[in-house]
Amino acid sequence: GCEMTCLDSISVGMRPMVALSLASLPENPGQLVLAMGGLDNKIHLYSGEGSGK
């Protein structure tokens, strides 16, 4: 099986998100980038360190 744990959350308010993509940066595999597309016609970008857990 697969066990998942929520480590953090991102508040986007009342804007519904309809698409997302998570990737590691090629130059720095420990750095993650999350891109979310919402119904507000904007792309929201977040980055953070991957913990490996």
The answer as to whether 44 is a domain residue is: yes
* pLDDT value at residue 51: 67
Q: How many domains does the chain have?
A: 1
* pLDDT value at residue 13: 76
Whole-model pTM: value is 0.64
pLDDT tens, the chain, 53 aa long: 667 667 677 777 787 889 989 888 888 878 888 888 888 888 888 888 876 55
The answer as to whether 4 is a domain residue is: no
* pLDDT value at residue 1: 66
**Domain of 45?**
17-49
Rounded to 5°, the CA angle 1-53-35 comes to: 95
Q: Which two tokens stand for residue 50?
A: 């991957």
In three-state secondary structure terms, 52 is coil
The answer as to whether 1 is a domain residue is: no
The answer as to whether 2 is a domain residue is: no
